[in-house]
């Protein structure tokens, strides 16, 4: 995997998906990209202790891989909002997810969802922009296995992982709602809106 002994030792301590999530929440600061867009590899996330959602998802996928899970990513597509990436995993034939987000409700999901669609829909009520609009519209139909990018050393690369982000934009996506359903403007409940902002980095 090309990780150093110290890097691999740290990842081995993250022996459960919830431990990976806790590490992302408490040991990795949220990357607001003050100096321009970045897409750090897992190694650079460890070095800089900084990640946004894509960087956090790639790190989580690498950590899951250390513990025998395939490194799988699902892209959530939004309107009038940023997309969001999930590192997904299966336990007892059910799906769960790990994610880095500035919004409290867009992070961990327990592996209790029978399908990727069920898992994605659990994010719908928590996925909103600063105007309070619910913005989730589509998701990548199949999880992307990052082993296809092993030739570029995605886990330890010094260069940004834009090739993976570009690939995720091009893969087939499935709609969350029908087009007639999308025409309705759905707004957040004020209390849920405020709850989602808990701990936000401004």
- Residue 27, sorted as left (phi over 0), alpha (psi -120 to 50) or beta, turns out to be alpha
23-38 average pLDDT score:
96
- Contacts for 65-68 with beta carbons within 8 Å, 24 or more apart? 65/1, 65/155, 66/1, 66/8, 66/11, 66/12, 66/14, 67/12, 67/14, 67/15
pLDDT single digits (tens) 75-106: 999 999 999 999 999 999 999 999 999 999 99
Pairwise CA distance, residues 197 & 180, whole Å? 30
* Average pLDDT value for the chain: 96
The pLDDT assigned to 97 comes to 98
Cα gap 67→71, rounded to integer Å: 10
What confidence score (pLDDT) does residue 151 get? 96
Say which residues have a Cβ less than 8 Å from residue 171's Cβ, sequence separation at least 6: 75, 140, 141, 142, 144
Residue 172 confidence class, pLDDT cut points 50, 70, 90: very high
Q: Is pLDDT at 35 greater than 80 in this prediction?
A: yes
Q: Please state, in angstroms and rounded to a whole number, the distance separating the CA atoms of residues 153 and 161.
A: 10
**What pLDDT was estimated at residue 2?**
87
Cα distance between residue 112 and residue 166, in whole Å: 30
SS3 168: helix
CA–CA separation, 44 and 55 (whole Å): 9
Q: Around Cβ 64, how many Cβ atoms within 10 Å? A: 21
pLDDT score, position 49: 97
pTM, 2 dp: 0.97
- Which of 33, 28, 32 has the alpha carbon at shortest distance from 50? 28
Taking only the tens place, the pLDDT of each residue in 113-160 is 999 999 999 999 999 999 999 999 999 999 999 999 999 999 999 999
Confidence of residue 198 (pLDDT cuts 50, 70, 90): very high
Token match 């790639």: residue? 58
Over residues 157-179, mean pLDDT: 97
According to the model, what pLDDT value does residue 128 have?
97
Residue 185's pLDDT is 86
Q: Is residue 1 predicted with pLDDT exceeding 90?
A: no
pLDDT score at 202: 83
Which residue ranges make up each domain of the chain?
5-196
CATH of region 5-196, choose from 1.10.3470, 3.10.20, 3.40.50, 3.10.620: 3.10.620
> Taking the CB of residue 70, how many other CB atoms lie within 10 A of it?
14
């Amino acid at each position: 995997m090309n990780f150093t002994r110290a890097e691999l030792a740290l990842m081995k301590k993250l022996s459960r998906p919830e431990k990976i999530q806790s590490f992302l929440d408490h040991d990795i600061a949220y990357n607001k990209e003050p100096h321009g867009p970045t897409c750090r590899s897992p190694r650079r996330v460890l070095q800089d202790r900084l990640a946004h959602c894509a960087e956090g998802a790639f790190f989580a996928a690498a950590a899951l891989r250390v513990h025998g899970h395939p490194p799988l990513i699902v892209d959530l597509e939004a309107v009038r909002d940023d997309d969001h990436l999930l590192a997904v995993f299966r336990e007892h034939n059910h799906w769960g997810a790990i994610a880095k987000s500035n919004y409290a409700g867009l992070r961990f999901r327990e592996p209790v969802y029978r399908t990727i669609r069920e898992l994605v829909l659990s994010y719908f009520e928590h996925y909103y922009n600063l105007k309070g609009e619910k913005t989730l519209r589509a998701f990548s139909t199949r999880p992307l296995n990052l082993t296809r990018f092993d030739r570029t050393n995605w886990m330890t690369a010094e260069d940004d992982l834009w090739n993976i982000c570009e690939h995720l934009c091009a893969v087939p996506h499935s709609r969350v709602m029908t087009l007639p359903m999308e025409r309705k403007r759905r707004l957040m409940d004020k209390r849920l809106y405020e709850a989602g902002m808990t701990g936000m980095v401004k």
